[in-house]
Each structure stands twice: as C-alpha cells, then as structure tokens.
Amino acid sequence: MPYQVPEPKIFACTDSRALAEKIAKSYGTDLGNVHISRYSDGEFQPSFEESVRGARIFIIGSTHPSSENLMEMLLMLDAAKRASARHITAVMPYFGWARQDRKDKPRVPIAAKLIAKMLEAAGATRIITMDLHADQIQGFFEKPVDHLFASTMFLPYLKSLNLDNLTIASPDMGGSKRAYAYSKALESDVVICYKQRAKANVISHMELIGDVRGKNVVLVDDMVDTAGTLTKAADLMMERGALSVRAITTHGLLSGNAYEKIEKSQLSELIVTDSIPISKENDKVRVLSCADLFADVMHRVHHNTSIASKFLM
C-alpha cells in the first residue's frame, strides 16, 4: 500500500485568527487547538492541546505591533519544537520590524536581522511571508523563505476596473522597482514621487517626476502606516491634473489618524489585503483576502511541488 503523506496541522496566533480560519477553510481543514494562558502581569503561555509529534505544522501570525504578536509567534515556535514537530513553518503574512533592515545612522539596530535570527532560534524551519519591505531581508535567514507577492491578487483587480489612460505611480524612490513591475504587467506609464522626511512618518517635501495630466493613477506600495505619504501624493497628483488616484498597498497598518487622512484626501479608494486585521470600517478602504494564496502555497510546500507560478513579480 503506497505511503500517504499525513496532512499538516495549522495553528493561529491570536491576532491573526480571522485570517487563519480563512486559510484553513481554503486548505480544506480546521485550525488546530491551541490555548493561551495569561498571567495577571500580562505574561502569557501558548499550549498545543493536541499532539504535533512528527508532524508538519504551520503557525499563522503577522508580527505587526504590538510586540506581543511577535512574542506569541516565538513562543508557539518554541512550544512546537519542544513538542517534537518535524517541520515548523512560520506563516507571516506581514513580517513586522522590516523597515529597520539596515543601519541608516550610527548606533541603531538592524531589527529585521534580529527578528530573523530569533525566529530561527525559536524553531522555525521555514518562513512563508508576503511583500517584504525589502527583498534582501530573505538573506537574513539561513532557513528557506517563500516570499510571495500580493500582485497575484492586485493585478486581476486592477484589470477588472478597465481604467483608461492608466498610470502606475510609486510614492517614493524606494518603491520604483515595484511600480515598474506593475507597469510592465499592465502595459502602462510610470511616475515617481520624490519625498524628503523631516523624521520618521513626517514628510517635509514631495515632488512629482512624470506627467499625470488626464491619467487614472494607481499608487503602489508595500504598506500604509499613517497614510501621510499616500494622501499627500494623491492630493499632489490631483493638483497636477490626474483624473483619479487610487492606491494599492499590501499591508494596512493604518495607525494614528490614518483613516481620517484617507477620508479627507482625494484618494478614490485604498485597496489592502487582510494580512493585518483592519480595525475600522471605511467606505474608501477595500480589503482583498490573501487566504487562498497562502493556502495554495502551504499545500504546495507540504506536497513538495513548485510555487514558481505565484511569483508574478
């Protein structure tokens, strides 16, 4: 009788449970049972309430702030390792702390490198993530990293809009590679915003490189935090004669007064994924689920088949 590969077990970190349930449903299974015990001082302890010995397990959890999300992922990885799981994959739709990927001034940490080492030390044997802030973060790991792209969801959506005179825009110089990749797939023009920051999350000046007059513009970025860059770019483009401006960003952090900025801006819509739970309902914010993408890749990883078709960019 041929050997049957046992199905993997899927577990969820607390803040990513809603997405994990969608992923498990798309995969065709149920979430595994994990219990979180909490102490009065805030310390917590995850416990797998079923055997994982010799199994392949996927632990789903984005590591957006607060740092409790990262700590929960680390503790669950360690628990799985000590429970003798054979393969332990950290499924991190959003890899937090990725903006600290280099020393941009003296005496600062390289947090993304530190997080990579912590995940491996905790027991992760593989990482699956999506739209890293910087592609080279994959090199911080000694374990395999499957770096997925939300373009597999965004491109079909953009094509369904049937926008005339479409132009792809990058809100900063760092995102120009991503913008060019989208423009190539959509056969459109590209414009770039040049910005200078007074400090983190504060823009002192922004200028536009390229012509947007009479164009329907789509801003492309990997994340939106305070929404300052996107809303300022949208307003600038409308001033320069754009017909409409919308934005697609993979990770919707949307901190501080981001929702208020989006409401007051000239953005027609902001499209994000559910890699991070969206905290408020908003008429301008559209959420596309990445559950099917992750479920498909997890299935391919488990059965050792290629995931090359998921790399559109």
Which residues have a catalytic role annotated? 195
CA distance 146 to 138: 9
Residue 92 bridge partners (DSSP): 129
β strands within the chain, DSSP E:
9-12, 34-38, 44-48, 56-60, 87-92, 126-130, 145-148, 166-170, 189-199, 202-209, 216-224, 244-252, 267-273, 285-288
What number of CA atoms fall less than 13 Å from residue 66's CA on the CB side?
4
Furthest C-alpha separation in the chain: 70
Q: Are 49 and 33 in contact (CB under 8 A)?
A: yes
Residues 6+ apart with CB under 8 A from 56: 6, 8, 9, 85, 86, 87, 89, 302
Torsional sign, CA 268, 170, 172, 92: positive
Q: How far is CA 165 from the centre of its chain?
A: 29
Residue 120 CB neighbour total at 10 angstroms: 17
